[in-house]
Structure 1
Amino acid sequence: MSAAERPRDTAELVHLKDVTKRFGEAKPALDTISASIRGSEITGLVGPDGAGKTTLIRLMTGLMLPEGGTVKVLGFEPRDGSAAIQASIGYMPQRFGLYEDLSVQENLDLYADLRGLPKSERAATFDELLTFTDLKRFTGRLAGRLSGGMKQKLGLACALLKKPRLLLLDEPGVGVDPISRRDLWKMVENLTAEGIGVVWSTAYLDEAEACDRVLLMNEGKLLFSGEPKDLTGQVKDRVFRLTGVSGRRRQLLAKLLDEDGVIDGVIQGEAIRLVTATGHDGVFAAATNANVSPTEPRFEDAFVDMLGGGPGGRSRLAEAQQPLTGKDDKPVIVANGLTKRFGDFTAADDITFDIPRGQIFGLLGPNGAGKSTTFKMLCGLLKPTSGEGRVAGFDLRRDAAQARNRLGYMAQKFSLYGDLSVAQNLDFFAGVYGLSGQRKRERTQLMTSIFDLQSRLAMSAKDLPLGLKQRLALACAVMHEPEALFLDEPTSGVDPITRREFWTHINGLVEKGVTVLVTTHFMDEAEYCDRISLIYRGRSIALGTPDELKARSSNADNPDPTMEDAFIALVQASQERIAA
């Protein structure tokens, strides 16, 4: 059921007036927030990590009190009515809040006890929720062994054990593949049809477009409150698509981003997408041979415009990189029949591809599909059961140490040493990668300058904001000018401007001949890839350029599919072939 077709209940469930919250001497986590949340609607609480989303949700649960202003939830103020609030809401925290060493059924039993669900109602309630979340087949599986999407479904089931009037979901889509995210959205839309008000917190700006209303936050401030189309409309007639680009897209994008009047730009397969300031007269001078046509704006276009635009096209990191383009034309990364078994379970089966120098190659797939296993085998972190992996000409079985010295690795989770300072992390990784003396000092100073870390050198890495943690992780990964760069979901949770900054660096490095292997759940980031391998149930089910994969899923009902549409269609087609 679409948002327009759902029944409307105009009752206000949450009232926020000039809400302020501060932790210590830092700037406010919430700065005079005023908004309302209504029943039968999905309200998107949208913004990057550190925007204040989790703090605001905790105020609504009664787990935390505001420093100033008014919070009313279902008519109760948290200061006096937290118990009444908590009895009437469902809450799914950002981090998996269930017990990983208990089974699916044992978690349901435990939360039924905690929520006071009468034993006479449990069988019917469990059956309804297990059917709703499609977890009936997995009641005996330990929660810790569920995929990311299945964990989120179990968390949602536990939050719904007693039908709430208000459901608070704190970033349920983080780290979840597009298929699982779409399943979660369908479930939540069904709940609003029953009159339940839903708050869906997210850093994925494409999810904002599916909400009835949006509260857009950044650095503790509320930037926008209203229907998504009202914000997106602010960049109407200012978004363009360039096709038929001659030459290398990344070089052209870098030039365009430094043109006066260009607010933002990204690569979209073989095309380039641009947001302009007030029109396009003179803006496209650098794209003399491209076809320029208007295209529909996205929520993220409007958000980047509201923040003042992207970081431009210059990458100091790429400018400092020694060119690798003059080397031999052999593939830099090779996977030849890579297979990994854990007992009777095959996590990756006969994965084969190669990546030429100066290309970006994407590994995509649902949670648990085998892409992380493949990624780790090619990094030398996991020994394959069979098959061969090579990096920069070195066999990962026989010459793992030499191969690792030619690659840089940025892990999905913050992989540096949290108890060491920023300076100590830079110094440590420079040593690990074999840098010493003057060369070590020069590269460390360069990374400090490029990633704006000077004022944070004495801070413990674990205390950095997420965006700076990711900058530090990338700085350490490229300290030794690697030939190959392995990036495992490098921008998850960071703000759009930091994401643009990362991709400006990556695109610039690729132009210097660096080869990149990346995994991501952001389908717009997959568009940056030269080629993609889609992994499902341990096997590669599709290999090609982004545009080729989209073309394979095109049909009469959807002649111009997005990358997310292609992802879902190709996985579903594979499921049908397996079932047949």
Structure 2
Amino acid sequence: MEDRPLSLVARDLRKSFRRDAKETVEALGGISLTVRKGTLTALVGPDGAGKTTLLRLASGLILPDSGSLTVVGLDVAEKPQAVQDRIGYMPQRFGLYEDLSVQENLDLYADLNGVSPAERRTVYPRLFEMTQLGPFKDRPAGKLSGGMKQKLGLACTLVRAPELLLLDEPTVGVDPLSRRELWEIVFKLIREDGLSVVVATSYLDEAERCEHAVLMHAGEILAEGPPAEITAKADGCCFLVKGPEGVPARSLQARLFALPGVVDAVPEAGRVRIVRRPDRLEEPLTLEGLQLETEPTGARFEDAFMMLFDSVAGERDHTSPAPLAASPENAADGTVVEVRDLVRKFGDFTAVDHVTFSVRRGEVYGLLGPNGAGKSTTFRMLCGLLPATAGTLRVAGNDLLKAGAKARERLGYVAQKFSLYGQLTVGENLEFFASAYGLRGNRKKERIATLTAAFELERFRDLPSGQLPGGFRQRLALAAALLHEPDILFLDEATSGADPLARRQFWGRITALSEQGVTVIVTTHFMEEAEYCDRVIILDAGRNLAEGTPVEIRERAVSGKTAPSMEEAFIAIVERERAKRTEKAA
């Protein structure tokens, strides 16, 4: 690797932004980095680490305050246009034209980049083959699934055969199957074309597959090198813990994560995977006076990431949640969502095809499925945002087909995209949504004060919500959804794009709500989050493929001696059912 030419060289690179008239934020604080030709480099780090700023500098869209940056042998500050002519950059929100077809989008980007008709005859067939978009050339981009949109965005970025490809969170909001297909395209380009790729990602399993990983925090580089070398920093510090009988793994996780000697804790197959600080390994692991048994397990890249981040992130809140408690024995009697033979049609197309399930009070229930599976349509019907074509749908004791408005008064909703008002301050958003939910007088003041304190939003009260760090935007969205104390909370890809620490903190709050009796229904493409659910349902082509606890879902996909991860189980179940449908159709 050392003898390969350099595609990117940064030396003491600095960049600051003015947040308002009084405050300047340092996005990059003097970083140095090299990327060699034909390599795949991952940039990982929490929100505000500087990943996107580095990619925008490398693409010539903004200029550094100081330091030097050379891309494909050119000084970006001196020749930004020349750099842009030789690289491809796919930002988080790639500019597809939704009213144009797949073919028309490709043609537009080819025109913008001066790709000749002769070059197109060579490039287009390969792009259509790699992305499998050939059969959809005439479909409007706005009618593509999320995964197909990302593949089209990547194809548009590749239309002029760049020497360096910069990808900013390319798989956010993309289901596991589409995510795998996107990475297969990237690996093919590296292998066959010698393309250099730099990708910013919040999926640490993706970084683990890269040749070179760069861990960033607060505009600085914490560590870099082959992922295996970084992973080794967590060797001997990783364990699996089983809690008392009847206690959900997420409840144990929330309490273990609060312990001073624990760097990380996540649910995994009914147990909790923890990472302990190296200087606390000899201490027994105790919780509420109970000594817990630990089973050593191999380190992952994410374990090392959390360990390195813990070393610089400052003191974490170790407030102990309420004492552990088993799920109440009568939980099965408290059904709050009942779905029977639910159908939704759009013209001749059946998006949801006789789906049936129920959710109990205080349960966390996951709706999983590939893009286009029907889960978002089901989710919107549950929220009362979309009427059902047929079937029974009861939420909080109300028939949504007859009393939707009454049922919606008891629901809270957190959307995938930040759905608050970016120009209003944090305080103004809470005031607006409290009024929208019908809160008045002292009750309104009390709820706003309670949630502002609970979500640690006081110091941001006068800041426009659009300027909040990503983790705090999620906190504000959740606080707004809880103002009217809903019985049922809907989370629609609520942690999409969030860094690992923000996800842990978010789920700690969701766990606390579920223990107070709030029912939570969640959609997610991040399969590790499915481990926080009591039960999940997997949908595809509008039909129910599987339902059960995360452990049961894993067991349904076992094909060898090694137990599959939740993502592997999801992919196996979906692909198996699709193969059956294909065989039946033939």
The CA distance in 1 between the partners of 2:316 and 2:392, in whole Å, is 40
- Contact kept? 1:14, 1:74, Cα under 8 Å: yes
SS at match of 1:491: coil
Alignment of 1:272 onto 2:272: yes
Amino acid at match of 1:350: H
Query: 2:13 matched to 1:19?
Result: yes
SS of 2:199's partner is strand
SS in 1 for 2:504: helix
The answer to whether structure 1 residue 574 and structure 2 residue 573 are counterparts is no
Q: Relative to 1, partners in 2 of residues 1:531 and 1:328: Cα closer, same or farther, differing over 3 Å? A: closer
In the alignment, which residue of structure 1 is the partner of 2:555? Answer: 551
Q: What secondary structure is seen at the aligned counterpart in 1 of 2:335?
A: coil
> Are the structure 2 counterparts of residues 311 and 491 from structure 1 closer, same or farther at C-alpha, using a change threshold of 3 Å?
farther
Would you say the 8 A contact 1:333–1:355 is kept in 2? yes
> Which range is displaced more, 425-434 or 404-413?
425-434
Whole-Å separation in 2 of the counterparts to 1:256 and 1:295? 17
| Mapping 1:31-50, distance limit 5 Å | 31-50=29-48
| Partner Cα distance (1:290, 1:223) in 2 | 32
Deviates more, 1:457-466 or 1:335-344: 457-466
Structure 1 distance, partners of 2:320, 2:381, is 30
1:427 counterpart letter in structure 2:
E
Mapped to 2, the partners of 1:215 and 1:242 lie a distance apart of 30
Is the contact between residue 284 and residue 291 of structure 2 (CA under 8 Å) also seen in structure 1?
no
User: 2-side partners of 1:547 and 1:477: how far apart?
Assistant: 30
| 1:345 and 2:349 are equivalent in the alignment | yes
Q: Which runs of 5+ in 1 are unaligned?
A: 1-6
Using the alignment, how far apart are the partners of 1:427 and 1:214 within structure 2?
43
CA distance in 1, matches of 2:176, 2:251: 30
- 1:76 and 1:251, CA in 2 relative to 1: closer, same or farther beyond 3 A? closer
Q: In structure 2, do the counterparts of structure 1 residues 298 and 34 end up closer, same or farther at CA, with 3 Å as the change threshold? A: same
Q: For each residue in 1:10-30, what CA deviation from the matched residue of structure 2 results, as whole angstroms up to 9, or x when unmatched? A: 211100001011112422111
The aligned amino acid for 1:565 is E
Q: Aligned partner of 1:237: which letter?
A: G
Map residues 74-153 of structure 1 onto 2, 5 A cutoff.
Answer: 74-153=72-151
Paired position in structure 1 for 2:461: 457
The one-letter amino acid of 1:62's match is G
1:274 CA drift (Å): 1.0
- The separation in 1 between residues aligned to 2:429 and 2:522, in whole angstroms, is 23
Higher mean C-alpha deviation, range 209-218 or range 116-125: 116-125
Render the CA deviation track for 1:58-94: whole Å, top value 9, x for unaligned: 2111222111000001111012222322222122222
CA distance in 2, matches of 1:501, 1:40: 37
Q: Distance in 1 between matches of 2:245 and 2:318?
A: 18
CA contact (8 A) 2:259 2:318 kept: no
User: For residues 252 and 159 of structure 1, do their structure 2 counterparts lie closer, same or farther at Cα, with a shift above 3 Å needed?
Assistant: closer
- Name the structure 2 match of 1:259: 259
Q: What secondary structure, in the 3-state scheme, does the structure 2 residue paired with 1:351 have?
A: strand
Question: Which residue does the alignment assign to 1:285?
Answer: 286
**CA RMSD of superposed structures (Å):** 2.3
The superposition leaves residues 260-300 of structure 1 with CA deviations (integer Å, 9 ceiling, x where unpaired) of 42222121231111111125444423395865211122222
Distance verdict in 2 for CA 1:215–1:258, change over 3 Å = closer
Alignment partner, residue 194 of structure 2: 195
- The CA distance in 2 between the partners of 1:325 and 1:382, in whole Å, is 34
| TM-score, reference length from structure 2 | 0.92
Query: Which 10-residue stretch deviates more, 105-114 or 14-23?
Result: 105-114
Query: Which whole-Å CA distance do the structure 1 matches of 2:354 and 2:329 have between them?
Result: 30
Distance in 1 (CA, whole Å) between partners of 2:342 and 2:218 is 44
Q: Deviations over 1:335-367 (max 9, x none)?
A: 112211111111111111001112110011111
Q: Which amino acid aligns with 1:276?
A: R
Q: Which has the higher mean CA deviation after the structures are superposed, 325-334 or 250-259?
A: 325-334
Given residue 18 of structure 1, which amino acid in structure 2 is its aligned partner? D
Deviating 4+ runs (over 4 angstroms)? 287-291, 309-316, 323-328
- Where do residues 97-496 of structure 1 align in structure 2 (5 Å cutoff)? 97-193=95-191, 194-243=193-242, 245-249=244-248, 250-278=250-278, 279-286=280-287, 291-308=293-310, 311=316, 314=319, 329-496=333-500
Question: For the residues of structure 2 that align with 1:326 and 1:539, how far apart are their CA atoms?
Answer: 30
* Secondary structure of the corresponding residue to residue 110 of structure 1: helix
| Corresponding residue of 1:4 | none
Task: Please say if residues 174 and 525 of structure 2, whose CA atoms lie closer than 8 Å, have aligned partners that are also in contact.
Answer: yes
C-alpha deviation, 1:174, in angstroms: 1.0
Percent of paired sites with the same residue = 50
C-alpha displacement of 1:315: 7.3
Match of 1:528 among 522, 528, 532: 532
2 CA distance for matches of 1:223 and 1:451?
28
Distance 1:103 1:157 in 2: 13
In structure 1, give the amino acid aligned to 2:210. Answer: C
Q: How many angstroms apart in 2 are the aligned matches of 1:539 and 1:213? A: 40
Query: Residues 14-61 of structure 1: CA distance to partner in whole angstroms, max 9, x if unpaired?
Result: 000010111124221111111001112110012233322222112111
Bigger CA drift: 123-132 or 78-87?
78-87
Alpha-carbon distance in structure 1 between the residues aligned to 2:331 and 2:38:
60
Unaligned runs of 5+ in 2: none
Give SS of 2:570's match.
helix
1:159 CA displacement: 1.8
Residue 116 of structure 1 and its aligned partner are, at CA, apart by 2.0
Q: Judging changes above 3 Å, is the alpha-carbon distance between structure 1 residues 254 and 419 closer, same or farther for their aligned structure 2 residues?
A: closer
Query: In 2, distance between residues paired with 1:373 and 1:159?
Result: 30
Q: Distance in 2 between matches of 1:290 and 1:576?
A: 44
Give CA deviations for 1:491-514 in whole Å, capped at 9, x if unaligned. 122232221111111112112221
Deviations 1:507-545 (A, max 9, x none): 121122211101111111111111111111111111111
Distance 2:277 2:331 in 1: 41
Q: Per the alignment, in what secondary structure is the counterpart of residue 456 of structure 2? A: coil
Quick one: distance in 1 between partners of 2:217 and 2:258? 25
Q: Distance in 1 between matches of 2:243 and 2:61?
A: 55
Q: Which amino acid aligns with 1:455?
A: R
1:198 counterpart SS class: strand
Q: For each residue in 1:438-466, what CA deviation from the matched residue of structure 2 results, as whole angstroms up to 9, or x when unmatched?
A: 22222110111111111222222222222
Distance 2:492 2:483 in 1: 17
Q: Deviations over 1:218-267 (max 9, x none)?
A: 23222222111222211111111124742313443344334342222121
8 A Cα contact 2:255 2:320, kept in partner: no
Contact 1:9 1:195 in 2 (8 A): no
Aligned partner of residue 106 in structure 1, secondary structure:
helix
Moved more, 17-26 or 288-297: 288-297
Distance, in Å, in 2 between the alignment partners of 1:139 and 1:430 is: 46
Shift of 1:314: 4.4
Deviation at 1:312, TM superposition (A): 5.6
Count of residues in Structure 1 that have an aligned counterpart in Structure 2: 569
For 1:62 and 1:314, the matched residues in 2 are separated by 45
- How far has the Cα of 1:205 moved from its partner? 1.7
Give the AA of the match of 1:261: G
Of 281-290 and 420-429, more deviation after overlay is shown by 281-290
Q: Distance in 2 between matches of 1:182 and 1:328?
A: 37
Deviation, structure 1 residue 487: 0.7
Tell me how far 1:114 sits from its aligned partner. 2.0
Please give the TM-score of this superposition, normalised by the length of structure 1: 0.93
- 1:324 Cα deviation (Å)? 11
* Corresponding residue of 2:567: 564
CA distance in 1, matches of 2:569, 2:291: 29
Q: 1:311 to 1:365 in 2, by over 3 A?
A: farther
